[in-house]
Structure 1
Amino acid sequence: MKIERGSSLLMIGDSITDCARARPIGEAVSWDIGNGYVSLVNALLGAACPREKIRIRNLGVSGNTVRDLADRWQADVLDLKPDWLSVMIGINDVWRQFDAPLQTEWHVGLDEYSATLEQLVGATRPHLKGLVLMSPFFIEPNRDDPLRAMMDCYGQAVRRVAQRHGAIFVDCQAAFDDILTLVHPAALAGDRIHPTLTGHMILARAFLEAVDFVW
């Protein structure tokens, strides 16, 4: 596995990462780490390779955009000095443009999104042993759906940032697309955004496969 023994892994993002984690920092004590993909990653690592002693912390905040992430980056990432960092952000950056079209001050356009993510990654990558960038997603198989089409553009922006900085890219959208050939989106997320437990396991599996975890 790419994550070295004894490493600390910080996972940051929006509600998909948050999942009711404890404040100020979600740690792997009881359910304090949340009840989503972060907890599943922690459970699988703990069950399959406990000798690796990988410490996982959850810093997701529901509703966050990349703009919000930038505002708390110093305290929630740099000050905590993780060995490895995983970032999943962008769903709200896109979603607010559709569910709150008149609140334009909440919208984060593609240019701002790309530039902000680039700035955060560029400032942080030299201090990390490893970096994982997970794409935003919309659990909708119709690629011509306007929200899905825009989400794909934001996902490609994440891919480009990952390539420029030698980060591991996790294509969450592709992971869901594979399953959507067999099941309806409602089986994975009632609102096509917030996953069921099965949806969170899809995310956990995609993350772990990207870091060469052996199942």
Structure 2
Amino acid sequence: MAITVRPGSTVMFTGDSITDCRRLESEDGLGFGYPLRIAGEWGHRHPDRPVTWLNTGIGGHKVMDLEARWRRDVLDAHPDVVSVLVGVNDMGWHSIDPLGYAISAEEFETGYDRLLTPLAEAGTQLILIEPFLLPVHGAIEAGPVLIGEKEREAWRADLDPKIQVVRKLARRYGAQLLAADGMFAALAAAAGPEHWAADGVHPTPAGHAALAAAWLRLVV
């Protein structure tokens, strides 16, 4: 059942760089990615239903980073709808991370669950977006390091159980699930993965448009 966004609602997007998308450089604080596209399209479709749109995504953040700022950045705003996209930084980046960060699917679930519990108790409507990884070809840059396809296969093996966690939590909390990983896999089969995310992680303009269109199908 789709989420009803009522006039005067506050809708918050939060997560990592995919949501952040240089929001601090943008005039309205929404960044230049899918949150901006959603807000623009909603305003176009529903001029009679004004909404306050907020973005508290921060590049590089993991579940534990969200938890550290959850009260200040999310709960204190008392949003009516919260959309979360997190998990790609909880993936197997530890293979190149000098700090050796690693988190199991079980720890990821426990941390994510702690984010959602107070929102559910407050009656907040939830949209959970799956983390995703597109099968781009050749090596990609991750900071100063070039990452080949074999390393990314290991990332995929690490990410898949965490995608399952997001699906499980969506069922547990009655949240809307945006099945982004499957969506991008289907899109990549038709137009090639680089069309949607040149590095397999950060969407292109077309990728952000696809996320926005899928998100808007979950709300009325």
Q: Same fold (TM over 0.5)?
A: yes
Does residue 96 in structure 1 map to residue 114 in structure 2?
no
Equivalent position of 1:120 in the other structure: 115
Root mean square deviation, CA, Å? 2.0
**2:90 corresponds to 1:82:** no
Paired letter, 1:78: L
Separation in structure 2 between the aligned mates of residue 119 and residue 32 of structure 1, nearest angstrom: 26
Deviation at 1:31, TM superposition (A): 4.9
Q: Which one of 160, 181, 193 corresponds to residue 185 of structure 1? A: 193
The answer on whether the counterparts of 1:14 and 1:64 sit within 8 Å (CA) in structure 2 is: yes
Which digits, 9 at most, give the CA deviation of each residue in 1:154-198, with x for residues without a partner?
111011011111111111101111211112212222211111000
Q: In the alignment, is residue 16 of structure 1 matched against residue 12 of structure 2?
A: no
How many residue pairs match? The answer is: 204
Q: In 2, are the aligned partners of 1:84 and 1:128 still within 8 Å (CA)? A: no
The amino acid across from 1:169 in the alignment is L
TM-score using structure 2 length: 0.86
TM-score (norm 1): 0.88
Amino acid at match of 2:156: R
Equivalent of 1:202 in 210, 214, 217? 210
The CA deviation string for residues 95-142 of structure 1, in whole angstroms up to 9 with x for no partner, is 423432x532x2222111100111111122121341111110001289
5 Å-filtered alignment, 1:1-215, equals 2-22=4-24, 30-100=27-97, 102-104=98-100, 106-140=101-135, 145-212=153-220
Contact preservation (8 Å) 1:65, 1:108: no
**Contact kept? 1:85, 1:128, Cα under 8 Å:** no
Question: SS at 2:84's partner residue?
Answer: strand
Structure 2 SS opposite 1:85? strand
In structure 2, distance between residues paired with 1:2 and 1:150: 35
Report the Cα distance in structure 1 between the residues aligned to 2:10 and 2:104, rounded to whole angstroms. 32
- TM superposition shift of 1:73: 0.3
Asked whether the equivalents of residues 133 and 167 of structure 1 are also in contact (C-alpha less than 8 Å), the reply is yes
Whole-angstrom distance in 2 between the partners of 1:135 and 1:80: 24
* Local SS of the residue matching 1:151: helix
- Distance in 2 (CA, whole Å) between partners of 1:99 and 1:146 is 12
Secondary structure of 2:8's counterpart equals coil
Letter in 2 for 1:91: V
Check conservation: 1:131, 1:167, Cα contact below 8 A: yes
Which amino acid in the other structure matches residue 20 of structure 2?
Answer: D
In structure 1, stretches of 5+ residues that fail to align are none
Post-superposition Cα deviations, 1:8-33, rounded to whole Å, max 9, x if no partner, equal: 0011000000001128xx7xxx4531
